[in-house]
Structure 1
């Protein structure tokens, strides 16, 4: 079973700033992931050609099931509002997270994680700092049908505000502890290397590799965390692609 998490940067290339659906399709196909967690995903956004990026990724990956969950309605960096729990991605531009799976999904769960009210200076495209308002954060859990090698996979993108992201991760772990195991959490957690594994009792990190920025990665923001009973890791690596300022993190389980 090959798991991957990929912050898409809405499909934008760091080389030329262009959003090209074919580049995104090729990048995802090259990962050959059975389960792929997505962050910074556009749905019906003019900046990305009004594409449903989760559906595009699912098609490229040969996924059987896929779901997009909006975190906000509008466009990051411009005007937006928090997406409601029953918000439909149809109609207005939305932005959030997605999960695609070649394994059949028995049940989906949307898990709100809250947000911070912080506006902090962040590196945009790993080159220039800008003041950025933090966004609402959600997680998406998929309970896989037996006999999948793991019971539940969870995609998320946590706050960039230090401390708030830790609280969100703990909240998420508590929310999924009753779901069929082993449970695997995948996503851009906005925490460096060893921190997530140290925060969560009962979970272990399945990969240690720098994922950001993609050209010369110096820090690991993207993680795959597994609960008790997860299969052995056969291989783990950060994979550069032609899109995004993050590398995809890929873990292959024996």
Structure 2
């Protein structure tokens, strides 16, 4: 029998706090379940009252472990207009990375503050997972600043931090920037998905990305249909190339 060939299905989705532009809830759990990922990176993942939110329900339904990194309270001015806050404790919102694979390490990477950004500090959330063959790969979730002068420095910082970890990796999330400028600060990486993702109703730009390094080949990729957020989800199935010792 031949050696195991590792494939990995990754999805990314900016959930817009689980509401439409009109502030109406949509079914985030069903939308994410339909993506059928092994690794799922959510941006703007809301936990009302700091209780388990829809990310927890997705993890339970798909048999995944959930790793969360709140970056603001739901009183922050960056929350969607029309969002109905429940009474009680203040909630939070941030990154969530879910995976069905064994996690061997987690690192929170401080990406700093972009002047004018309502979020005080942004972070990358990197999980190193064990693949079926025994190889390891690092998947880093990110939601970079929407300030044009902030996203590229943050993405450069994350790229270098993930390279320092070593081994196969992917940087996944809402980068708030187009592909060509990002490529200039992520040398050695390429996009696994190409297609317009924002705004979801009539997308004209790709700002949601899966950036892979030289250890992967892309088997398939897609920009998914509009499911309610202002962003469209993206998916990619990637295969690990043989790594020479």
TM range (shorter): 0.7 to 0.9
- The Cα of 1:30 is off from its aligned counterpart by 0.7
Q: For the structure 1 residues 19 and 159, does the alpha-carbon distance in structure 2 shift closer, same or farther, using more than 3 Å as the test?
A: same
Query: Is this contact kept in 2: 1:181–1:227, CA < 8 A?
Result: no
Per the alignment, residue 25 of structure 1 pairs with 29
- The Cα of 1:194 is off from its aligned counterpart by 2.4
Q: Secondary structure at the match of 1:177?
A: helix
Task: Report the Cα distance in structure 2 between the residues aligned to 1:28 and 1:149, rounded to whole angstroms.
Answer: 26
TM-score (normalised: structure 2): 0.83
Find the partner of 2:197 among 188, 211, 235.
211
Q: For the structure 1 residues 148 and 191, does the alpha-carbon distance in structure 2 shift closer, same or farther, using more than 3 Å as the test?
A: farther
- The Cα of 1:228 is off from its aligned counterpart by 2.4
Query: Is this contact kept in 1: 2:151–2:176, CA < 8 A?
Result: yes
Find the partner of 1:182 among 168, 172, 176.
168
Q: Where does 1:90-239 land on structure 2 (aligned, <5 Å)? A: 92-118=90-116, 133-146=118-131, 147=133, 151-230=137-216, 232-239=217-224
Q: 2:49 matched to 1:71?
A: no
- The Cα of 1:242 is off from its aligned counterpart by 2.5
Task: Report the Cα distance in structure 2 between the residues aligned to 1:149 and 1:36, rounded to whole angstroms.
Answer: 19
Per the alignment, residue 126 of structure 1 pairs with none
Q: Secondary structure at the match of 1:170?
A: helix
Q: Which runs of 5+ in 1 are unaligned?
A: 80-90, 120-132
Task: Report the Cα distance in structure 2 between the residues aligned to 1:148 and 1:186, rounded to whole angstroms.
Answer: 22
Count of residues paired in the alignment: 222
Query: Is this contact kept in 1: 2:102–2:130, CA < 8 A?
Result: yes
Q: Secondary structure at the match of 1:246?
A: coil
Q: Secondary structure at the match of 1:36?
A: strand
Query: Is this contact kept in 2: 1:156–1:187, CA < 8 A?
Result: yes
TM-score (normalised: structure 1): 0.80
Q: 2:40 matched to 1:36?
A: yes
Query: Is this contact kept in 2: 1:117–1:134, CA < 8 A?
Result: no
- The Cα of 1:217 is off from its aligned counterpart by 1.0
Q: For the structure 1 residues 153 and 40, does the alpha-carbon distance in structure 2 shift closer, same or farther, using more than 3 Å as the test?
A: same
Query: Is this contact kept in 1: 2:114–2:149, CA < 8 A?
Result: no
Q: For the structure 1 residues 240 and 76, does the alpha-carbon distance in structure 2 shift closer, same or farther, using more than 3 Å as the test?
A: farther
Spell out, residue by residue over 1:112-150, the C-alpha distance to the aligned partner (whole angstroms, 9 max, x if none). Answer: 11112316xxxxxxxxxxxxx355311100000243676
Q: For the structure 1 residues 154 and 140, does the alpha-carbon distance in structure 2 shift closer, same or farther, using more than 3 Å as the test?
A: same
